[in-house]
Chain A
Amino acid sequence: MADLSSDFLGIKSPNPFWLASAPPTDKKYNVMRAFEAGWGGVVWKTLGSQVKNVSSRYSAVNFNGSKLMGFNNIELISDRPLEINLREIKEVVREFPDRAMIVSLMADNTKESWHELIKRTEDTGAHGIELNFGCPHGMSERGMGSSVGQDPEIAKMVVEWVMERATIPVITKLTPNVHSVVPTGKACVEAGTNGLSLINTIQSITGIDLDNFVPNPNVGGSSTYGGYCGPAVKPIALKMLATLSLNNVTNKVPISGIGGVSTWKDAVEFMLLGASNVQVCTAVMKHGFRIVDDMKDGLNNWMDEKGFKTIGDFIGKSVPTLSKWEHLDLNYHIVADINQDKCIKCGLCYITCEDTSHQAINLKYGNPYNTYTIKEEDCVGCNLCKLVCPVDGCISMLEKRKGSEYLNWIEYQERGLPLNDH
């Protein structure tokens, strides 16, 4: 049995799976159910400025019959009375002392508002604070949320206000609605934030109703940009996380990974790229809290298999394998190989290579089954055929180096080797 316990800035939780600040964490009833189901911690839905919500609030992107590949919301921060939220947070902390209780905050844009909110939050016994610098809808129009996160100077100022008052760990949650998360991340670290978390949602329009022409979600015949999340955003989140892990300022603080985490595998990927733990929302909004069972179980089995005793053994392990394109080895070469025993003759590899890649697959017509083979000399090793092949292990990429030595772009140019010669 591996040790799944997590220590994030001294905040302990029995596993690295927290629920992100969102509808699933907006009241005691949900959070109690989450803790009973086994979640390691929660970030309570953002408290702060006074709001009023609209209906409807969510929309989704489905793909090939699979629902909620991407999810979008225009809900604001908590619309419940602050007193009730604070009382319930206090009660939950007392009932589940071994779980992490972080409270997300978004005060009005004055130092006093932030100080007042932090004081009242700390009085609940919560273990940490997460600053919501990411909400991309509604709040941002009022100069809060992502409006703060998109401007490193403003973010830095607010973090400074917060750090003057906070006595418990402060995590700053970043918005992805920027060209790079590094400037704001650096500014927040320099202003003293104890940790970072990312990503918040990405501004989006998920689709349009083709009968009434109104984008989703429809609020009485109108719509507005929402915040996109779910499995579709994971690759974007991973890349943004990696940029923080590779930056010498931002990688000095722990990072909580967010963005499309649905399974233990997703969680491991975030942690391999430097996240100390992960936060989940869309997956539980689709399936309920019960998914944490397999997340814990799967992580444990994987760690046992790999010989990792604690989660610290693998956090950040993939970061050193990332490099700039110009440092990649130009002598590394692979070619596709089709296992004819496994091939089901669907022709998908052929048509994609023929129409959109390098015409590197031979087609021998048969009735009704064709035979497909690789033209090794034309294969550039792009992976496309392997990616579209529906059969596991049917197409493999074989290593056929162009040369034995490591040769990158810089060296290649210096030697004056041929370009555009394919």
Chain B
Amino acid sequence: MAIKNNRLTEEQYKTNFSDIHPPFETKNTALFEANRCIFCFDAPCTKVCPTSIDVPKFIKQITTDNIKGSAVTILSSNIMGGSCARVCPVEKLCEGSCVFNKTHETPIQIARLQRYATDIAMNQQWKLFDRKPSIGKKVAVVGAGPAGLSCAHQLSQEGVDVTIFEKESKAGGLMTYGIAAYKVTPEFCKEEVDYITSIGGIEIKYNQELGKNVSLTSLQQNFDAVFLGIGVGLARKLDIPGENLEGVYDAIRFIYNLRNNDFNKTAVGDKVAVIGMGMTAIDAATQAKRLGAKEVTLVYRRTELEKPCTDVELEIAKLDGCSILWLAAPKEVIGENGKVKSLVCSKMELGKPDASGRRTPIDTNDTIILDVDMVIKATGQIPYTALLKNIGIRNSDGKIVIDESSSSNITAVFAGGDCVNGGKEVVDAVQAGKDGAVSILNYLGAK
């Protein structure tokens, strides 16, 4: 057993990481699906979308050959409509609420139709949004992820000059660095960022990390307002013996590496245990398998009923051949010569519901041992608590506290996205960016 890279042929990597939700191949197939939509009034799909995309309208516009109008309908509500069409857990949002579910018919493929319209808009480089003349106000946005980009785009439309400070060398945030490669390609992420910034008035400064290369004080001095969309950091620690052994990985770092390198350069073990059952855990497990790991086991301390990921995501992991170990909590990583040899898990049972309403796992004092050479931690991400403390922003367990107008305790400093909510969907971050922009414009007296 060993952790090594280059396990598969070029062809195998290509197959394993090809688009899991391929687009409609022809206009005809898209039209066929679009015509199934019955154009609901006050549609549930729109109501459950965090960005409130008018879904029936954009689908109707596809049927009338008004693709440009359709793209505007989508992108004016959600400038990352292209990304969301690929990564949104639509089974629990728009598609999950489609009225067809009530007749046990297949819901409308909303995400795929959204991708159809936005792909055309991006491929054709349609200029769908105009920037108003500069109003002479400058806003700094920290973080070029979904929240920051969405905020920047809204602000720029209103004539604000925006500078984004991004700690990585590429923009897109979680889209670029933290999502399974079979859902969205790095090329797409780049094209989308270029499309968003093509409105003008948005400058992205790369390799600029808050608290390291740039300080909040300097931003406050040089800009009229600041929006923090800094997201959350690495995976939560397990706090168990053996956590520092060679072979214990952080899911975020693991996905980051494979998104930043050729697939054959990303090492993976023969037998991999992934701790957690959220979307990131699934993305780590499926990609470990797709990189050539022989066995991948998802380890979760509760049951399927309490899992944070959607049924669809779990199904992807199962179809990829990942095993699932329910009611097991990591207790110790055992090593040999400093390297991971096995993972000891406590067998759990469910007790009374906790604050989240889910039943609390209780240790049965029985254990189970998994022979693994790699352990990937994916039990949630740690917020940037120390950073927030240093810059003096009020937070609750590392989550920035904002008021109803996205404002932090510091005047002219606004925030939104994962750094506020602790880690939700891309679509939630996009909406938070929009909300932040509206508040900033109000603050600047620009709207």
Contacts and interface: CB of A to CB of B under 8 A. Distances in A.
Partners in one complex: yes
A347 B42 CA distance: 7
Contact of A350 (B41, B48, B100): B41
A351 B38 CA distance: 13
Contacts of A390: 38
Interface in B84-98: 97
A398 interface: no
> Chain A contact residues: over half helix, strand or loop, or mixed?
loop
Contacts of A345: 40, 44, 99, 102
Contacts of A369: 44, 97
Interface of A: 64-65, 344-348, 350-351, 363, 365, 367-370, 390-391
Contacts of B41: 346-348, 350-351
A391 B45 CA distance: 18
B24 interface: no
Contact of A65 (B35, B39, B47, B100): B35
Nearest to A372: B41
A348 B102 CA distance: 15
Nearest to B101: A344
B40 A367 contact: no
Interface in B45-83: 45, 47-48, 63
Contacts of B40: 345-348
Interface of B: 31-32, 34-35, 38-45, 47-48, 63, 97, 99-100, 102-103
A363 B34 CA distance: 27
B103 A344 contact: yes
A283 B43 CA distance: 36
A367 B45 CA distance: 10
Nearest to A349: B41
A344 B63 contact: no
7 contacts: A346-B40, A346-B99, A348-B38, A348-B39, A350-B41, A367-B47, A369-B44
Contacts of A351: 41
A378 to B, nearest CB: 18
Contacts of B102: 344-345
A410 B40 CA distance: 43
**Shortest 3 CB-CB contacts between residues of A and residues of B:** A347-B41, A65-B35, A368-B44
Nearest to B65: A210
Nearest to B103: A344
Contacts of A363: 42
A347 B103 contact: no
Nearest to B36: A65
Contacts of A368: 44-45, 47-48, 97
Nearest to B39: A348
Given A368-B47, A369-B44, A391-B103, A346 B38 contact: yes
A367 B42 CA distance: 10
Contact of A64 (B35, B44, B45): B35
A348 B39 CA distance: 8
Given A350-B41, A367-B47, A370-B42, A344 B32 contact: no
A340 B411 CA distance: 51
Given A65-B63, A368-B48, A347 B43 contact: yes
A368 B41 CA distance: 12
A87 to B, nearest CB: 43
A240 to B, nearest CB: 31
The CB with the most chain B CB atoms within 10 A, among A344, A363, A365, is that of A344
Contacts of B32: 65
A89 B274 CA distance: 78
B39 A64 contact: no
A201 B43 CA distance: 41
Contacts of A65: 31-32, 34-35, 63
A374 to B, nearest CB: 16
A367 B41 CA distance: 13
Interface centre among B32, B42, B48 (most CB of A within 10 A): B42
B427 to A, nearest CB: 15
B116 to A, nearest CB: 15
B363 to A, nearest CB: 39
B47 A344 contact: no
B99 A64 contact: no
| Centre residue among A64, A345, A346, A348 by max chain B CB count within 10 A | A346
A367 B100 CA distance: 16
A279 B38 CA distance: 34
A344 B99 contact: yes
Given A346-B99, A347-B43, A390-B38, 8 more contacts: A345-B44, A345-B99, A346-B41, A347-B42, A350-B41, A363-B42, A368-B45, A368-B48
Contacts of B34: 65
Nearest to A352: B41
A195 to B, nearest CB: 41
A363 to B, nearest CB: 8
A342 to B, nearest CB: 9
A135 B31 CA distance: 35
B29 to A, nearest CB: 11
Nearest to A369: B44
B42 to A, nearest CB: 5
Contacts of B39: 348
A373 to B, nearest CB: 15
Contacts of A365: 42
A370 B40 CA distance: 11
Contacts of B100: 344
A63 to B, nearest CB: 9
B193 to A, nearest CB: 31
Nearest to B94: A368
B437 to A, nearest CB: 25
Nearest to A66: B35
